[in-house]
Structure 1
Amino acid sequence: MTDRFAEQLLTWYDQHGRHDLPWHHDRTAYRVWVSEIMLQQTQVATVIPYYETFMARFPDVETLARAPVDDVLSHWSGLGYYARARHLHKAARQVVEQFGGRFPEDPETLETLAGIGRSTAAAIVAQAYGRRAAILDGNVKRVLARYHAVPGWPGQTRVLNRLWTLAETHTPEQRVRDYTQAIMDLGALICTRSAPRCDACPVRSGCEARARGATGRFPEPRPKKAKPEKSTWMVILEDRDGRILLERRPPTGIWGGLWSLPELDPAYTAEELPHACLSELGLACSEATLIGAFRHTLSHYHLHIQPARLTVLAQPPIAEPARFRWLYRDEALTLGLPAPIRGLLTEPEQAALL
């Protein structure tokens, strides 16, 4: 091993790195893959309990592939970025149907699976099979951008290509499994987004950003763009048996494929909600009782939610059973629900805290 960066990093990892994460045990491609997907845009401490519950329910790729997507989404509920769960389910089916239940061992083939990009494919190859492959997740981008003082936002093609070149350069031939975990740990534990712990950094002597006293300038942030503001009514429609109407969301877009409360145009007034429910949902309802409004921030916009509770006085049979369901609350809570909807069904007045 001739790369000084890798040498220093591995020496540090042996003493200070994370060696006992749940996906380090029985390190199969399946277990590594699930952890990598969950860790996209989510911190390790948040992921661990979800991962352990998910593994208990879906211990192997065949079980995941056979499971209903609603079951998968239910076990993902609260983790956010739900497209990851849908891709996970789709990729599991691909592995079973196209590869006989065995994950491919080369990055290029792994990248043909749903939801797996270049860095995730490399992480699976390195972590599960111990083969040399360079990773470049968010933590690694930050470490390399600072170490080499790479100017620009990593989302720009020019900057990203430069970081990939550096990632390839530093990835060693030996101990690649430890190296990939080490550089992720360095970004998560030491070279953090704010207030990096430079005095504890094993590669500080070669860090160009530290030498310039400019760690805060690298990597450059994404150009700021104000998030749009959107509003909606969310109606809790309860029939005389105590069941609540849920609607499955479209497969793409906000909360894709999850079950949610029906939404109505925010242009309606509270007094007009019974008429809206009749004209749009075919349900005769009582007057609306409003619940405290709150704002839920999504990746691309802020959503202002005004919940309202209405009692259904008369209801025809459901015309679209694949889209709508009448369920008791305990039944509804077993489905894949967005966090604010789960809050509205359990503690309506606390939903604003989610």
Structure 2
Amino acid sequence: MNILVTGGAGFIGSNLVHYLLRDAAEELSVSIDKVVTLDKLTYAGNRSSLEDLEADPRHVFAQGDICDDVFVGGLLREHNIDAVMHLAAESHVDRSIDGPEAFILTNVVGTFRLIDAFRKYLVESGRTKLPNYGKSIADGGESAFLHVSTDEVFGSLGPQDPMFCETTPYSPNSPYSASKAGSDHLARAYHHTYGMPVITTNCSNNYGPFQFPEKLLPLMIQKTLRGEPLPVYGDGTNIRDWLYVEDHCRGLAMALVRGAIGETYVIGGKNEIRNIDVVRQLIATVHQLAPESATKSADDLITYVKDRPGHDQRYAIDPAKIENELGWSPREDFASGLRKTVQWYLDNQAWISGIEDGSYRGERLGTLA
């Protein structure tokens, strides 16, 4: 296969590109000849996250916008793309509250232009007439469009509510989650209207290497190392289901190769944890792995701040379908994944510094908060 990964210089995308080129062929018994990374390199896209792949002849990097359907169509034809893994998205809830328009343009309009360009490419190349069109890749299918989404499209759970699953009704509560819900509906519509070989996934909160340091875990790691106050929204009792990013990447690759066309798979880490407990575990792990940073206690570091507008109380995913049908399961629990994550950031302070001083984009960003 030749695979196009959109948003491949972002957090999940860069981990996915590494997984595809390192482990996916052996673990999934599939030939991957080329991975083309398409990324606009906005603030959250970081080409240095793919620096170690520059000499790999199987990897091609292309800077561009998924909203540019002419550019996307050219990439599809030039590299004879068989499958698209669509991760490009604006994804930070706070930013969507402050400026929602960018989220609609990228997540809704961008998804439309990308999937429509792929549809036209498949028609032009005659792939829609193949006898195996519409079959999974594992069953002989020759094309697929994996649409990667979030559990936030399902809204908020109460303490006793059952976990999200593939049939949970949509109820987005932020401009970000509403834009992702819209893109999910577009992907579904293109399958049902045009017969496009679409598979959709919805994941819980990811964490791990290469995550932009405005997100909870990398932000808290850096502040703990510096002895700075750690801001926690509200009373810290909001619950998230934490999924180690490499476990997620394995799930995405399994869904692409083994997933049934037209189906949805939710992917969760089976780690429901209150935000305040996440922060306390993180502080303890940082102090254990970097004892010189243990100059203040957790109580001295944690600062409660005004809650985010429309802050969802609880997310939790039941991944039974992808476990039973595709054979996926998480390999990391939160303690082991957190330890790996903290150690990666300790070992890669130059990567963080490049973001904080703006050198990764050729400009200075100022202090992250």
Shorter-chain TM-score above 0.5: no
TM-score range, shorter chain: under 0.3
